[in-house]
């Protein structure tokens, strides 16, 4: 069991310093019969206090993966830091060696720039992969969470997205990468990993400018790249400023590519500046491309490049539907609201990725200034929603959908979310039935400690 000092702050953004192995957790309610597998979650968890607090950013913390395993009506838990090159070097030194997102300290200390692997964790081709968009994946042992090392699938060298999409019809994993021409370059890649883990396609293209492109969209026929003016700048990085900043005058550019034709078919749509971290889903409909996204008026969590502050109201996201028409003879597209609650972390029944989906969800904020406290489940066909709100002061993480069975209809299953219990300074795993979300958890798995606020996770069925 490895340990490091806990931060003194009581905020759940603070890291934890212990790697746990907890074989039997207390459960309130009854774990669903047939629910067997592991929920893996990833997020930033700095090993040591920052080297330079002025350059520090939540996004730059060391990755820690948390695993909740459910089997035979019981629940267990394990967590591990991802042993990246940076983590290993700092662990050996007993202190932080690198500030923020990296930079000259990596070279000064001879640390390979393999990233922090802190954003997502996915299963593909029999491998568990910890991801962040600046670097290649790290493979983990799914049973022990032991780090197996960087995985390049034989030929990959460029950055790899934290949000690859699995095609439910082929099993292919579609991915993209930013900064492929070097740090803060506008060069991007797009590729396909087959269900067997072999690279089937890899192409490069130039974006209108260097941007933080966190997520993208895939339909049966198209790939869509939202390039928005949260820009990367080497000059800012070298000056000790935030390397990423909001430059709204550059506008929003949406790249659309035909999957069959690749980069040769790439064209760009335009819109007034806005920002999207996450896409719920996208699909083709009557020649048009439909995308459901969580849209901000301006990027949150980063400064403006000109030093002005962004109005707080502009840094709240709501669920929007975009409609792009490649045959319309215009580079414009339409946007329409689907929900007025502020929120983030949209998900769906991933068996409908790239296909029309009836159901979707996000985590919203029902109380002003209270953060994310409500799991919102949408039936877009019936135009109704149901929601569950955690107690006042608590918070809910991204909720992951798990089908009731492999053959269950779309949207029939469970929603799993890690909830922060502010009063008790610890976390629970809550399990909701999609047929009765508003009724609250059918089961709650209790941890004795906190799971710090993080980003994304996925469910892996037992024996997969």
Among candidate residues 457, 460, 463, the one with its CA nearest the CA of residue 121: 457
Q: Rounded to whole angstroms, how far apart are CA atoms 243 and 236?
A: 5
Strand partners, 255: 225, 268
Q: Is 449 annotated as a binding residue?
A: no
Alpha-carbon torsion, ordered 269, 119, 371, 425, to 10 deg: 180
Cβ–Cβ under 8 Å, residues 122 and 131: yes
Backbone angles phi, psi at 262, to 5 degrees: 75, -155
Q: Rounded to whole angstroms, how far apart are CA atoms 4 and 1?
A: 10
- Give the H or E element holding residue 78: strand 74-81
Among candidate residues 322, 326, 207, the one with its CA nearest the CA of residue 272: 322
Q: How far apart are the first and last CA of the chain?
A: 28
Among candidate residues 225, 143, 106, 110, the one with its CA nearest the CA of residue 176: 225
Sign of CA dihedral 430, 434, 437, 443: negative
Q: Rounded to whole angstroms, how far apart are CA atoms 40 and 233?
A: 33
Q: Is 109 annotated as a binding residue?
A: no
| Burial of residue 24 (number of CB atoms within 10 Å: 0-12, 13-18, 19+) | exposed
Q: Is 278 annotated as a binding residue?
A: yes
- Maximum separation of any 2 CA atoms in the chain, in Å: 61
Beta strands 230-232 and 457-461, pairing class: unpaired
Backbone angles phi, psi at 83, to 5 degrees: -80, 75
HSE value, Cβ hemisphere, 13 Å, CA-based, for 23 = 0
Q: Is 253 annotated as a binding residue?
A: no
Cβ–Cβ under 8 Å, residues 123 and 129: yes
* Residues 6 or more apart in contact with residue 210 via CB below 8 angstroms: 178, 179, 184, 185, 186, 231, 232, 233
49-52 — which CB contacts under 8 Å span 24+ positions? 49/7, 49/96, 50/96, 50/99, 50/100, 51/95, 51/96, 51/97, 51/98, 51/99, 51/105, 52/99, 52/100
* Residues 6 or more apart in contact with residue 98 via CB below 8 angstroms: 51, 86, 90, 105, 106, 109, 111
How far, rounded to the nearest angstrom, does the alpha carbon of residue 193 sit from its chain's CA centroid? 19
Binding residues for Fe cation: 163, 214, 278, 456
Binding residues: 163, 214, 278, 456
């Amino acid at each position: 069991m490895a340990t490091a000092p806990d931060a003194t702050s009581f905020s759940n953004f603070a890291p934890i310093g212990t790697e746990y192995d907890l074989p039997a957790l207390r459960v309130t309610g009854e774990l669903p019969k047939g629910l067997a597998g592991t929920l893996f979650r990833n997020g930033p968890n700095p090993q040591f206090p920052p080297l330079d607090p002025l350059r520090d950013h939540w996004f730059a913390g060391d990755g820690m993966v948390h695993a909740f395993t459910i089997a035979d009506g019981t629940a267990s838990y394990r967590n591990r830091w991802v042993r990246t090159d940076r983590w290993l070097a700092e662990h050996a030194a007993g202190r932080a060696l690198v500030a923020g997102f990296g930079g000259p300290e990596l070279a000064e200390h001879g640390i390979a720039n393999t990233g922090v692997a802190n954003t997502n964790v996915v299963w593909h081709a029999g491998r568990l992969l910890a991801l962040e968009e600046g670097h290649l994946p790290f493979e983990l042992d799914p049973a022990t969470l032991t780090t197996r090392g960087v995985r390049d699938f034989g030929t990959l060298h460029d950055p790899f997205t934290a949000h690859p999409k699995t095609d439910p019809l082929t099993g292919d994993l579609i991915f993209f990468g930013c900064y492929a021409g070097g740090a803060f370059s506008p060069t991007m890649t797009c590729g396909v990993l087959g269900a067997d883990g072999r690279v089937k396609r890899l192409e490069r293209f130039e974006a209108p400018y260097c941007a933080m492109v966190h997520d993208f969209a895939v339909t049966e026929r198209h790939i869509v790249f939202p390039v928005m003016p949260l820009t990367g700048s080497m000059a800012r990085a070298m000056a000790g400023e935030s390397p990423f900043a909001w430059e709204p005058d550059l506008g929003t550019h949406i790249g659309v590519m035909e999957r069959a034709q690749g980069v040769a078919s790439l064209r760009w749509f335009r819109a007034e500046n806005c920002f999207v971290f996450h896409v719920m889903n996208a699909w083709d409909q009557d020649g048009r491309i439909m995308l459901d996204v969580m849209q901000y008026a301006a990027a949150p969590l980063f400064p403006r490049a000109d030093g002005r502050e962004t109005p707080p109201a502009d840094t709240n996201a709501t669920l929007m539907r975009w409609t792009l028409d490649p045959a319309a003879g215009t580079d414009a597209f339409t946007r329409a609201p689907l929900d007025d609650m502020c929120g983030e972390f949209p998900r769906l029944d991933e068996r409908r990725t790239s296909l029309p989906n009836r159901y979707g969800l996000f985590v919203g904020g029902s109380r002003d200034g209270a953060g994310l406290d409500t799991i919102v489940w949408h039936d877009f066909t019936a135009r109704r929603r149901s929601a569950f709100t955690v107690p006042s002061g608590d918070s809910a993480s991204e909720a992951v959908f798990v089908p009731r069975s492999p053959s269950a209809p779309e949207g029939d299953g469970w929603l799993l979310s890690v909830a922060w219990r502010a009063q008790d300074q610890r976390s629970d795993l809550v399990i909701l039935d999609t047929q009765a979300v508003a009724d609250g958890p059918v089961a709650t798995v209790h941890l004795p400690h906190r799971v710090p606020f993080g980003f994304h996770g996925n469910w892996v069925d037992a024996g997969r």
